[in-house]
Structure 1
Amino acid sequence: MKKALASAAFLALAAFAAAPAQAKDWKTVTIALEGAYEPWNLTKPDGTLDGFEIDLAKDLCGRMKVECKFIAQDWDGMIPSLNAGKFDVIMDALSITDERKQVIAFSKPYAATPASFAGLKSGPLATLAGTGTTVTLTGDAAHDKPVVDKLREALKGKTIGIQSATVYTKFLNDNFKDIATITEYKTSAEHDLDVTAGRIDVAFDDDTYFTSAFAKPDNAEMMVVGPEIVGPIWGEGEGAGFRKADTDLRDMFSKAITDAIADGTVKKLSLKWFKLDVTPVSVP
């Protein structure tokens, strides 16, 4: 869904921090999640972790017959901490991108999700062209130009909120930074707060996140504005992240994910948490 590396310098740092290869007998696996990206993962009032990725990880670990432990980790240090050996797996709505493949390995995708802008029901953008439709963006400028140009026209002079260091941040900066003000936030909940308070015009995020966010009383006046955006522009989908050396662990997860997709478990859990099916169309 959402997250992407921020810079070439960060890539170099993460690569430098990579732990040396070593064979392991995987009986216990530690999985890191943000614990703050509901409904993918969240922290309950009692401090325990829950959400789509917790439920899915428990299912996968059962299939692999390994004991799984879960820890909450700030996104800013997630990939360097993985490569430093502080935990074994990232499951945090982690978009599979070519940039990130330079420094970590990925399982097969377990989800593929759309993204949208969100604003106020009573706001001037509530009737933004394309609202209620779905468009496909490929990442090819010539193909995507008609859709992007319409959005640029509508959002000229506006303020757009986005969680920092995500795959969506790059999309906004590449296409809207010259005509709109891009405001970055540490968490998605913070951009929701500013939308509802009228401090920014719209936020941009994953549709699965907005499904959960809109259900909260404080966000009752928010709605998707403009088209739902799907397609290769967001990469292959979301997958689990591993140190490059841990190919055996990656392959274990990939097989378990393939089986969980085949028997409908991923669909069942996505409908439970997102109210829509985020199962990847095909598993490479």
Structure 2
Amino acid sequence: MTHRAPIRRFCLTTLFASLLLGGAVAQAKEWKTITIATEGSYEPWNLTLPGGRLGGFEPELMTNLCQRMQMQCKLVVQNWDGMIAGLNAGKYDVIMDAIVITPERKKVVSFTVPYAATPATFITLKESPLLPAEKNIVRLQNDEKTINAAIAPLKAALKGKTIGIASGTVYTPFIDKYFKDVADVREYTASADAILDLQAGRIDAVFDDVTFAQSMLARKENSNLTFSGPQLGGPIWGEGEAMGVRMADQDLKAKLDDAIRAALADGTVKGLSEKWFKTDVTP
């Protein structure tokens, strides 16, 4: 990634890639068929069912949206850490994986209107909880003084501990910025891998989306896990979760926006939210 290619090779490669992408975009402009990438392992947002079929909140919502847009939709599995690059390389047309809108991501991806907004929390073992679980949501603004005051008890409880976090998420820079001075931070390719290491005693806590955490805690094998501390939400996490498309595909974004707004207005998103999350996460 860091090595420079010879100029001639770079130009030819870039031209060839541009021609391929240009042809793909031109061919897809009618948008009769779209391909959507999701992780397939971020429960309950998306999960892989027996037989390989994808299920969860987002695949069911996408099915509804595609019916509204009168499109044929194909869902494919893609690891989170390569998802945005794959979108811009033309591997698929839409990414949908509990992706929070952030200013940094807006530079490389065009986002739809949000269809969800959720808080995050710590998960620990019941036998060694860092703090009692709190159902209240502490809304964090992008203000250093407010953030430091709100998380002071968490920092004290996590001093000398090891925190697991999925890499490349909206939560990763938050943990790096506010907890690396008191705790070791270990990054994982997938959130589920962090849960496995928590169970194995390799780390002391996992920080992740509340809806994912609820899904993990509902599993029989995770009956020894618990929430720890308050739920952290608010503008610090951005505008909410949305789908991403390539910058050039504003016509597709407009179709998705209309379908999402209609699904929010008629209660479809709320119904799917309550089915999969047991709570209303509509923005």
Q: Shared fold (TM-score greater than 0.5)?
A: yes
Secondary structure of the residue aligned to 1:244 is coil
Question: In the alignment, what sits opposite 2:165?
Answer: 162
Is the aligned partner of 1:150 residue 2:150? no
1:29 & 1:278 partners in 2: Cα distance? 26
- Please tell me the residue identity of whatever aligns with 1:57: M
Question: In the alignment, what sits opposite 2:36?
Answer: 31
What's the CA shift for 1:108? 0.1
Is the aligned partner of 1:198 residue 2:201? yes
> Which of the two has greater strand per residue?
2
Judge conservation of contact 2:133–2:227 (CA < 8 Å) in 1. Answer: no
Greater C-alpha radius of gyration: 2
Question: In the alignment, what sits opposite 1:123?
Answer: 128
- Please tell me the residue identity of whatever aligns with 1:85: G
- Please tell me the residue identity of whatever aligns with 1:178: D
Question: In the alignment, what sits opposite 1:213?
Answer: 216
1:124 & 1:87 partners in 2: Cα distance? 42
Match of 1:241 among 241, 244, 248: 244
1:239 & 1:70 partners in 2: Cα distance? 16
Question: In the alignment, what sits opposite 2:80?
Answer: 75
- Please tell me the residue identity of whatever aligns with 1:25: E
Question: In the alignment, what sits opposite 1:59?
Answer: 64
Question: In the alignment, what sits opposite 1:230?
Answer: 233
2:224 & 2:105 partners in 1: Cα distance? 36
What's the CA shift for 1:130? 6.6
What's the CA shift for 1:96? 0.5
- Please tell me the residue identity of whatever aligns with 1:98: P
2:81 & 2:174 partners in 1: Cα distance? 19
Secondary structure of the residue aligned to 2:164 is strand
Secondary structure of the residue aligned to 1:91 is strand
2:173 & 2:254 partners in 1: Cα distance? 30
Question: In the alignment, what sits opposite 1:186?
Answer: 189
What's the CA shift for 1:200? 1.2
Secondary structure of the residue aligned to 1:92 is strand
1:130 & 1:92 partners in 2: Cα distance? 26
**Cα shift readout 1:261-284 (whole Å, capped 9, x = no counterpart):** 01000000011111111100xxxx
2:200 & 2:78 partners in 1: Cα distance? 29
Question: CA separation of 1:130/1:212 partners in 2, compared to 1, >3 Å: closer, same or farther?
Answer: closer
1:50 & 1:260 partners in 2: Cα distance? 18
Question: In the alignment, what sits opposite 2:118?
Answer: 113
1:133 & 1:28 partners in 2: Cα distance? 42
2:129 & 2:244 partners in 1: Cα distance? 40
Match of 2:257 among 254, 259, 266: 254
2:48 & 2:55 partners in 1: Cα distance? 6
- Please tell me the residue identity of whatever aligns with 2:40: G
1:55 & 1:147 partners in 2: Cα distance? 36
Secondary structure of the residue aligned to 2:99 is coil
What's the CA shift for 1:150? 2.1
Secondary structure of the residue aligned to 1:93 is strand
TM norm structure 2:
0.89
**Cα shift readout 1:97-126 (whole Å, capped 9, x = no counterpart):** 00000011000000001100011111141x
Question: CA separation of 1:183/1:267 partners in 2, compared to 1, >3 Å: closer, same or farther?
Answer: same
Identity of aligned residues (%): 55
Q: Could you list the runs of 5+ residues in structure 2 that have no partner in the other structure?
A: 1-13
Q: Could you list the runs of 5+ residues in structure 1 that have no partner in the other structure?
A: 1-15
Secondary structure of the residue aligned to 1:204 is strand
- Please tell me the residue identity of whatever aligns with 1:64: M
Question: CA separation of 1:267/1:136 partners in 2, compared to 1, >3 Å: closer, same or farther?
Answer: same
2:258 & 2:72 partners in 1: Cα distance? 17
